[in-house]
Amino acid sequence: MPKKYLHRIIIPLILIIIIMAPIDYYISSNTPTQNPAEISSMPIGSTVMAETQVVDLTKVRKEPLITHPDYLIENLQEGQIIPAIYGLLTGTIMTPIKDITEGIEADGRAQKFEGPGMITTKENKLVVQPPANFIWAYKTPYTYAVKTKDGIAIIENNKTIKTLKPDQINNISEYVNATKIKEWYKEAKIGDKIPIDFSLSNFSDGRREVPPEDIVKFFGEQTKKYMMEYPSGSPIMAYMHNYKMEEVATATSQLESYPEYGDISREYNAREFVRAWNGTIVPPGAISPGKETVQFTSSGDPEAPGGYASHGTCPPARALRDAVAEAGLPTPSGITWGYFALMYGYDPATDVKVYNDGNYPIMIIMWTEGSGPGMIIHAKIYRLVPA
């Protein structure tokens, strides 16, 4: 609207505002504030990206124009011409978005920010909260394959979304390969179930569960890849930004030679242990295992339960234990302070768990140097802190 015409509207409106101010105050003080959840276009706690439409404009409370001519001015100043015209034609005017929201544009879209935000409420306002430096959650079963008398049923939220005959059980999961599902099917009883897809839930910032189909969209391919390597229930660092890594501990150990257990198998197991734990992130207050995508070989051992053990995992277990201790964290479960550090009966990757009782996430880095009995195993602990 040209400025030379705008003042012809604004000056009379200012006079009306002055006259109506006492009435406006009385009505406003006796009218309950609109619940911000009512105007949200999605459930509170939902993950949102920048410029997502988060306000349902049709649900924003409209007030009589005669008592709120100031709303008309605010809408015009914000460039919201359609609400202003609607107000002039109907005599009711939409509450200006900026008065009832935070982090939201005048047209109801989330403001620009980096990463996955969250829709929430604060002090009777609808708020888009940008992501913190670190957001973590837990890998949670979301979709199950359930054995039936005719094959399997695919279940989500207690609802059957698909049924398959035994000869149709192929690549139905990114997490569990077809061979494993077929083996499970042969051994399972009717009603038994196996998780085949996973969500992220119990977020550190309280946001709602994110279903499998939205994980890459909100958190990226790397988060999905990390999820696929770790067991169900593991903590998952879904998003990190604007942080730095501080080295807080380092430790080494040597493979050495125990030919009675097979040094070639021992070296393989040591490398698998390192692969299982390298890159593992443990959020504050969380307990994490290593990756479940590794495999260990067993050697005969009369002292072990069942007569077999994954020898070669004790040297890297000592390196991990010593680094964790130097970082001031509790001794990992399944690991002792003896020379033969790994307890019998514990899977070196999924039964051993590291507890982070600190205030910041930690990252475990492990690698090997050399080969054979002289192979050196390195472990470092980094603290991740806001930059």
Q: Do residues 161 and 188 share a domain?
A: yes
Q: Do residues 181 and 208 share a domain?
A: yes
Q: Do residues 346 and 330 share a domain?
A: yes
Q: Do residues 146 and 273 share a domain?
A: no
Q: Do residues 110 and 233 share a domain?
A: no
Give the list of residues 6+ apart from residue 45 with CB closer than 8 angstroms, or none.
Answer: 118, 119, 120, 206, 207, 208
State residue 378 phi and psi, 5-degree precision.
-110, 145
Boundary of a domain, candidates 210, 238, 266: 238
Look at the chain and report how many structural domains it folds into. Answer: 3
Boundary of a domain, candidates 238, 263, 298: 238
For the record, the structure tokens of 345 come out as 């009966």
> Residue 284 and residue 358: Cα distance in Å, rounded?
6
> Residue 359 and residue 387: Cα distance in Å, rounded?
15
Q: Do residues 250 and 375 share a domain?
A: yes
For the record, the structure tokens of 207 come out as 């946001």
For the record, the structure tokens of 223 come out as 């988060």
Which helix or strand (DSSP H or E) is residue 82 part of? Answer: helix 81-90
Domain assignment of residue 80, given as a range = 3-129
Q: Do residues 194 and 137 share a domain?
A: yes
Three-class SS of residue 343? Answer: coil
How far apart, in Å, do the first and last CA atoms of the chain sit?
46
pLDDT at 98: 87
* pLDDT string in tens for the chain (387-residue length): 455 555 565 566 555 555 555 554 445 455 577 899 999 999 999 999 999 999 999 998 887 766 667 777 777 777 777 776 766 767 677 788 888 999 999 889 999 999 999 999 999 999 999 999 999 999 999 999 999 999 999 999 999 999 999 999 888 999 999 999 999 999 999 999 999 999 999 999 999 999 999 999 999 999 999 999 999 999 999 999 999 999 999 999 999 999 999 999 999 999 999 999 999 999 999 999 999 999 999 988 888 888 888 999 999 999 999 999 999 999 999 999 999 999 999 999 999 999 999 999 999 999 999 999 999 999 999 999 999
Q: Do residues 115 and 142 share a domain?
A: no
| DSSP character at residue 359 | S
Q: Do residues 282 and 372 share a domain?
A: yes
- CA angle (228, 234, 237) in 5-degree steps: 80
> Residue 74 and residue 90: Cα distance in Å, rounded?
17
| DSSP character at residue 233 | T
For the record, the structure tokens of 116 come out as 């996955």
Q: Do residues 253 and 301 share a domain?
A: yes
pLDDT at 20: 52
| pTM (predicted TM-score) | 0.86
Q: Do residues 250 and 385 share a domain?
A: yes
Helix 81-90 and helix 69-77, axial crossing angle in degrees, nearest 10: 160
Boundary of a domain, candidates 82, 101, 129: 129
Question: Contact, 364 vs 354, CB < 8 A?
Answer: yes
Separation in Å, CA 106 to CA 51, 93, 102, 180, 195: 11, 14, 10, 53, 44
Question: Contact, 369 vs 275, CB < 8 A?
Answer: no
pLDDT at 1: 46
Q: Do residues 77 and 162 share a domain?
A: no
